[in-house]
A and B are shown apart, each in its own frame.
Chain A
Amino acid sequence: MLATVLTLIGRRVLLSFLILFIVSVLLFIVLRALPVDPAAMSLPPNATVAEIEAKRHEMGLDLSLPQQYLIWLSHAVSGDLGNSIQFRRGVLGLVASTLPATIELAVLAMLVASLLGLAGGLALFHVRGTAKEPALDLGTVILLSLPEFLWALFFILVVGVALRWLPFTGRIDPDMRLPVTTGFLLIDSWIAGRPDIFRSAIEHLILPSLALGIAFSPAIMRVLRSSLIDVYQEDYIHLARLRGLGEKHILIRHALKNAILPTLSLMGVQFGFLFGGTLLVELIFSYPGLGNLMVDAVRNADLPIIQAVGLTYCIVVLSINTIVDSLYVILNPKLRLR
């Protein structure tokens, strides 16, 4: 049984690497289609045509596209993703210093989305067939119509500007300093024994993660509701009723256990989308993560950063999907026995 599970997971991991390879090729092609010349951009404006040509040769831009890609790939696998044109720093370092902030935000937001999604799904299921159903249903359509950046702006207006309850820019108060250990503020502040910084980081995370979490909760609600409805058609639920089990017991011990599988697999897909949603939320809350790095690079046509950050998003999404698929295999007894 363990061997089957491992084979399935192994196959999934291999597939992820294949996808990552294809994505890196596509990304390379799209970004080379740009009408900008990285060689000219990395030289002062008064550089002569000959100097630009020399730089082009030095950067390998006069080679064919497949050759350029192979050179990039060989550097990339050894951890060298090139240098940023605007910051003149290694791209890998820039990504590594911003990724923890984005992961912190995404994980917290996913927590919000899951809690709201599960609670909302149960509520929707609970009111099925009653007079309250249309109202709650309309509520989910309204929730689905509000993307994360509208929630973000709404929270800034109401909670940040009007009520002044919570901060809405950055990761911590600007006068706080903390040595970087892991890059995750919530962990580093514990290591350094600074509860004040931990508190500040949490306060700065509340609004962004709420905005992102709320926006991604309605899809989870709907799937949980419909899978619960499906499960309740099954014979074992009727059987449990005939055995005289209470409704609460049936819901928790029998129905939820089975309805959670499709919900879990949707949550995997949702987490991928949510991870992309951090971009806008980071921008609006001036939160120094991958998203702000990306938007900055896009505005300045900083190709090495765009390429590396694009791949980083992709790697994170693929890792999440692989983990969720593996969990699915482990948790699903039907797949396990095969």
Chain B
Amino acid sequence: MAARAFTSLPPWLRSGRVLIGLTIVAALAICALLAPQIAPHDPNEQNLLTTFLPPAWMQGGDPAYLLGTDSLGRDVLSRLIYGARVAMMVAVFASFGAMIVGATLAYIAGYFGGRVDALIGRAVDVWMSFPPVILSLILMVGLGIGLRNVILAIILVDWTRFCRVMRSEVLVIARKDYVAAARLLGFSHARTITSEIVPATVPLLITLLSLEMGVAVIVEALLSFVGMSVGPQTPAWGQMIADARQYIYDSPWGLILPILAIFLAVFGFNILGDGLRRTLDVRVTAQRT
């Protein structure tokens, strides 16, 4: 019975990669949404009597602090759980934003071609001449720190990832007969794009979106590592790494745990994207920062 139920699932849900990815992402999403309920302590609560506690299973660990404490005696587990909030918020909003900007420009460029296409292509060239890390840092200087600005900065940097890949895809689809047929039926340009071209690109969009979420987690982590992301009052993984780095000899765990958290989140999005790419059968070369 169970086997039959499994095979009746759509193919993309039967892929092991997709399932692993979805499980990791769902777990992180639950941590992010229910952080106040799950976290055993207030993430900013300091206790200078119990600093640098190792995880509970190590010599000298305290069961009340499952993953130990940091330099100010704050609970590492609670900070990791709250850190998932920033990571997931940025992952979702920044990648959707980048998708909307990048894909819209790609539809316009690929569909109309000619001068519009050349103009958008030049804009991508200008953006590509800037290493993404440098551009996001400069944008954060201009925008000022804060969650909304981090999301905005990532959108402004990463729309080109969608635009580059989608443009060549749209270019091929827009030359198909059924698109010409839609025009002959008297569809407007806007309606041709939304009802004929967009549906054909959905698999590619979903794959790119998943990969971009991983990229967004990385960018947020490195911005908060530099201290140019959310403010010091909001726990973020990159910031935990920056704090723990100064006490590397006192407590290597403080460094290892947020590194694992970032890796797990990025791996979750990447393996999900990779699985979707295979099962939705889209040709896309995965490129990263």
**Contact between chains at A283 and B226 (CB < 8 Å):** yes
One of B126, B128, B130, B271 near A313 (C-beta < 8 A): B130
**Contact between chains at A318 and B129 (CB < 8 Å):** yes
Select from chain B the residue with minimum beta-carbon distance to A277: B133
- The verdict on A331 contacting chain B, using a C-beta distance below 8 Å, is no
Q: A144-B288, A149-B222, A222-B285 are in contact. Are A23 and B134 (CB under 8 A)?
A: no
Q: A145-B266, A283-B226, A310-B138 are in contact. Are A26 and B128 (CB under 8 A)?
A: no
- The verdict on B227 contacting chain A, using a C-beta distance below 8 Å, is yes
One of A26, A33, A223, A276 near B126 (C-beta < 8 A): A26
Interface residues of B in 245-289 (CB under 8 A from A): 245, 248-249, 252, 255-256, 259, 262-263, 266-267, 270-271, 274, 285-289
- The verdict on B98 contacting chain A, using a C-beta distance below 8 Å, is no
One of B17, B226, B263 near A295 (C-beta < 8 A): B226
- The verdict on A333 contacting chain B, using a C-beta distance below 8 Å, is no
Select from chain A the residue with minimum beta-carbon distance to B144: A35
Specify which of B137, B140, B252, B270 lies most central, judged by the most chain A CB atoms within 10 Å of its CB.
B137
- The verdict on A156 contacting chain B, using a C-beta distance below 8 Å, is yes
Select from chain A the residue with minimum beta-carbon distance to B264: A145
Within 8 Å CB of A153, what residues of B? 241, 245, 255, 259
- Complex Cα distance, B227 from A253, in Å, reads 51
Within 8 Å CB of A321, what residues of B? 129
Select from chain B the residue with minimum beta-carbon distance to A318: B129
**Contact between chains at B249 and A161 (CB < 8 Å):** yes
**Contact between chains at A269 and B225 (CB < 8 Å):** no
**Contact between chains at A277 and B131 (CB < 8 Å):** yes
Count of chain A residues near B, Cβ 8 A:
56
**Contact between chains at A147 and B129 (CB < 8 Å):** no
DSSP majority for the B interface?
helix
- The verdict on B73 contacting chain A, using a C-beta distance below 8 Å, is no
- Complex Cα distance, B17 from A138, in Å, reads 9
**Contact between chains at A142 and B267 (CB < 8 Å):** yes
Within 8 Å CB of A162, what residues of B? 252
- Chain B, interface size: which category? 35 or more
- The verdict on B114 contacting chain A, using a C-beta distance below 8 Å, is no
- The verdict on B45 contacting chain A, using a C-beta distance below 8 Å, is no
DSSP majority for the A interface?
helix
Q: A20-B129, A273-B131, A284-B245 are in contact. Are A157 and B263 (CB under 8 A)?
A: no
Q: How far does the Cβ of B277 sit from chain A's closest Cβ, in whole Å?
A: 11
- Complex Cα distance, B126 from A127, in Å, reads 39
Q: How far does the Cβ of B248 sit from chain A's closest Cβ, in whole Å?
A: 6
Within 8 Å CB of B289, what residues of A? 147, 273, 276-277
- The verdict on A301 contacting chain B, using a C-beta distance below 8 Å, is yes
- Complex Cα distance, B222 from A277, in Å, reads 10
**Contact between chains at A298 and B228 (CB < 8 Å):** yes
- The verdict on B214 contacting chain A, using a C-beta distance below 8 Å, is yes
Interface residues of A in 201-249 (CB under 8 A from B): 218-219, 222-223, 226
- Complex Cα distance, B228 from A172, in Å, reads 29
Within 8 Å CB of A142, what residues of B? 267
Select from chain B the residue with minimum beta-carbon distance to A32: B142
Q: A144-B288, A153-B255 are in contact. Are A19 and B248 (CB under 8 A)?
A: no
Specify which of A147, A295, A318 lies most central, judged by the most chain B CB atoms within 10 Å of its CB.
A147
Within 8 Å CB of A295, what residues of B? 137, 226
**Contact between chains at A279 and B142 (CB < 8 Å):** no
- Complex Cα distance, B136 from A277, in Å, reads 12
One of B130, B142, B249, B252 near A317 (C-beta < 8 A): B130
Select from chain B the residue with minimum beta-carbon distance to A216: B288
Interface residues of A in 11-60 (CB under 8 A from B): 15-16, 19-20, 22-23, 26-27, 30-31, 33-35
- The verdict on A306 contacting chain B, using a C-beta distance below 8 Å, is yes
A sample of 28 cross-chain residue pairs with beta-carbon separation below 8 angstroms, ordered by A number, consists of: A16-B129, A26-B126, A30-B141, A33-B142, A35-B144, A141-B270, A141-B274, A145-B267, A145-B270, A146-B263, A150-B259, A154-B259, A157-B248, A161-B252, A219-B286, A222-B285, A272-B129, A275-B131, A276-B131, A279-B133, A283-B225, A283-B226, A295-B137, A298-B228, A310-B130, A310-B138, A313-B134, A317-B130
Inter-chain pairs besides A30-B141, A142-B267, A273-B132, 15 sampled, C-beta below 8 Å: A16-B129, A33-B142, A35-B144, A141-B17, A149-B225, A150-B263, A154-B259, A266-B285, A275-B131, A276-B132, A277-B131, A277-B289, A283-B226, A306-B138, A317-B128
